Copies of this chain bind each other. A is one copy, B any other.
């Protein structure tokens, strides 16, 4: 039977000291040990919650959430993670603030961070912008802390940028680890990250990029499949190649969905916009060329419509390993005949995987909480131990 000590023992074998007082931007900026530490603490926190042991490590303090895009799930995941640790969430909604009125990032970052222990930012709209913005923000509060303006250094969790979606992909991976019974069982498994048709336009690249940037580290055979013209960022492909070489796995590309699905252990069919088009859109926004944006949107929708056969059908699922590949999605999915006429996945496939999909999502708050703990505590293993010894029930009894 698992006990908290199991997780603590595991943590004690890992080196993650660089995570202390640090941000979480991209998974490939972290070592294997560091990622392992995130999953281990995530599991430990879940274990503690299941056993009614309070994990409240902050008596007070704020978690600031800054979303530049609508989001139910990520918003609630971040709020849940903060709440689990004792931080109160304060949303910076640019609509109701003065941010829109020309404040500089540097100033805003400091003005909202006087009591902020952690900042969660989602900024995935424009290629070349989101990740850069997060760095700018982080540097501003680091400087503010150095200058004695902020009593603490707020650390940053990337809740989705133009390059990576680390909280999503780390949750996806924790789900895979649980399904396959451990990281050690992933070597040689085939994972198909494939494009799929959706009637909507301009879905972010951060998930496919995050997936190939992370999943190639475990010795898996990762295949990235998409129609011609739906390339992701070349830099991230480079990351995937290097990861595969290092981990003894492989990273292949194909324009053939069936090839990717063939004998796959895991499939992740999902729509995204072509990198080059997103880059073009970013430039058009920069130039204020709204006519150009409309034209681009029309082109992209037409381009999409040429690939309606890229869908996760029952037929394709049958070609996967024993016809039972683990189906992943970051949700919400575009389900054929449910949320749209033609979409990313057949309704019967989606329905069969509903429970695992929800379970996959359920790891996200724990992953975020683990990232926060690792950034705020030099020795989280001891903290977990002390919390268990203290034994404050989460729900009074």
Listed in ascending order, the chain A residues whose CB lies under 8 Å from chain B are 46, 49-50, 54-62, 70-73, 75-77, 79-80, 83-86, 88-90, 92-93, 96-99, 101-104, 106-108, 110-112, 114-115, 117, 144, 147-151, 331-332, 338-340, 354-355, 358-359, 361-362, 364-365, 376-377, 383, 386-387, 392-397
Given contacts A61-B394, A90-B79, A96-B93, contact A46 B359 (CB under 8 A): no
Question: Nearest-CB distance from A376 to chain B (Å)?
Answer: 7
CB closest chain-B residue, reference A50 = B151
Contacts of A54 in B (CB 8 A): 59-60
Contact between A92 and B72 (Cβ–Cβ < 8 Å)? Answer: yes
Contact across chains for A60 and B83 when beta carbons are under 8 A apart: yes
Assembled-state Cα–Cα distance A46/B115 (Å): 11
CA of A104 to CA of B351 in the docked complex: distance in angstroms? 12
CA distance A221 to B312 in the complex (A): 63
A114 touching B55 by the CB < 8 A rule?
no
CA distance A60 to B53 in the complex (A): 10
Contact (A60, B72) CB under 8 Å given A102-B339, A358-B149: no
**Cβ-defined contact, B80 with A115, below 8 A:** yes
> CB distance A355 to B147 under 8 Å?
yes
A359: which B residues are within 8 A, CB to CB? 147-149
On whether the beta carbons of A70 and B98 are closer than 8 Å, the reply is yes
Q: Determine how close the nearest CB of chain B comes to the CB of A379; give it in whole angstroms.
A: 9
Chain B residue numbers with a CB within 8 Å of A397 are: 383
Contact partners of A112 in chain B: CB under 8 A: 72-73, 76
Majority DSSP secondary structure for residues of A touching B? mixed
Contact present for A72 and B46 (CB under 8 Å) = no
CB distance from A372 to the nearest CB of B (A): 11
Complex contacts, A396 vs chain B, CB 8 Å: 56-59, 383, 386-387
A90: which B residues are within 8 A, CB to CB? 76, 79, 83, 89
Flag if A76 contacts B111 (CB, 8 Å): yes
A395 to B377, CA, bound (A): 9
Q: Indicate which residue in B55, B79, B358, B364 contacts A147 across the interface (CB closer than 8 Å).
A: B358
Residue of A80, A90, A97 contacting most chain B CB atoms (<10 Å): A80
23 contacting pairs across A/B (C-beta < 8 A): A49-B151, A55-B60, A60-B84, A62-B79, A70-B96, A71-B98, A73-B111, A75-B97, A76-B92, A79-B90, A88-B88, A101-B332, A104-B339, A106-B354, A110-B362, A114-B364, A114-B365, A115-B365, A117-B395, A148-B359, A149-B355, A149-B361, A376-B395
A396 to B56 Cα, complex, angstroms: 8
Chain B residues near A365 (CB-CB < 8 A): 114-115
